[in-house]
Structure 1
Amino acid sequence: MNTKQSLEQLEELVDLYTQQLERYDMDQLTRTPEEGEWSLGQVYVHLIQSSLYMQLRQIEACRESRGAAGVKNEQGQAVFALGAFPPIRIRVISEAHTPSQPESKIQLADGLKEVVRRMREVEPVLEQIPAEHTAPHPRLGELNAKEWYVLTVMHFRHHLRQKERLDALLLG
């Protein structure tokens, strides 16, 4: 796994998300297409929060790990073999896992910058974290620090499909 390439890909994706943020006003960013679906702003909030409070935290958990290695489950093995999440829509069934609406475009732009800053900061440390140090993912099983890192990029790429669908509704 080349984490330097993953960082470059993340920077490109975040640049795209940031540049395209200018296309929307706050009404568009907070408009939900249907009951139970996320607005585009919620997609941005989700990407920022999951990067900062899930993926990066799990990388830190791997760094601090003293336990035995865990394994990816079948779904995790498939995702990493493909190098991407499958192109399917996943509905979040719990309100607790629904991101809040953004307060401003500045909040989103700053959050995206923070994701890149933290990913740049942690990338050089990844080589020092033993591959057998893992942390659990709710759907993919146990992942090591490099896998968590790469997963962040896959996650941003995965939500591009959702963003494109929302763009078609918002921008025509």
Structure 2
Amino acid sequence: MNTTEALERFEGSANRYLQELNGLRLEQLVRQPSENEWSMGQMVLHLINSSLHMSLRNIDHCMTNDKTSVVSKGEKTEAGRALFDQGGFPPVRIQVPPSPQYTPVQPESKEQLVEGLNTVIRRMKEVESTIEQASLHNTVAHPRFGALNAKEWFMLVEMHFRHHLLQWDRLKQSL
């Protein structure tokens, strides 16, 4: 898949979240099915925060021509190679133990989620128009997938949004 196709797929997923947010109240968005599961709002904040503060930030690092900004010399891990070979995450639940560093807070408002998603969409469009200029040799390490270049970080955003649609559907069923 090229970056234009990835952007289209990403926008499809992001727009689905935006459309479905319209029909939900904040009380529904903060409801957790159990104390160890995220609410729909927390899940959307996770997508927003990981996109803006990890993936898109790392794309910027990869696109910088300053030799001091290129961070990683490693390679993709086996999990990283499998993810990109398959073109996405396997359709299984991935649970990470709750922690203050990883567990998103509850959203303050529905508008916060809408604004955040729109910011990610805008940034993805901006980045896609220049991503082909990035060197494939400039990489930043992902904690699980290893060294990723700008295009791979871009593709990861699309795969991540698509993967969480499964969680979104499961959480909707619990309302």
TM interval, short-chain normalised: over 0.9
Deviation readout 1:33-72 (Å, 9 max, x if unpaired): 1111100000010001111001001101111263574311
Q: 1:66-145 residue pairs with structure 2 within 5 A?
A: 66=67, 67=70, 69-93=73-97, 94-145=99-150
SS at match of 2:105: coil
Residues 1:148 and 2:153 are matched in the alignment: yes
Deviation larger for 140-149 or 69-78: 69-78
Q: Distance in 2 between matches of 1:87 and 1:113?
A: 26
TM-score, structure 1 length as denominator?
A: 0.94
SS at match of 2:147: strand
> Size of the alignment, in residue pairs?
170
Q: 1:2-13 residue pairs with structure 2 within 5 A?
A: 2-13=2-13
SS at match of 1:97: coil
CA contact (8 A) 1:70 1:143 kept: no
Q: Distance in 2 between matches of 1:160 and 1:6?
A: 16
**Bigger fraction of residues in helix:** 1
Instruction: State the one-letter code of the partner of 1:95.
Output: P
What does residue 169 of structure 2 align with? 164
Q: Distance in 2 between matches of 1:69 and 1:35?
A: 40
What does residue 37 of structure 1 align with? 37
CA contact (8 A) 1:136 1:143 kept: yes
TM-score, structure 2 length as denominator?
A: 0.93
What does residue 63 of structure 1 align with? 63
Pairwise CA RMSD? 1.3
Deviation larger for 64-73 or 140-149: 64-73
Deviation readout 1:52-101 (Å, 9 max, x if unpaired): 00100110111126357431110000000000112222222223200011
Q: Percent identity?
A: 51
Runs of 4 or more above 6 Å deviation: none
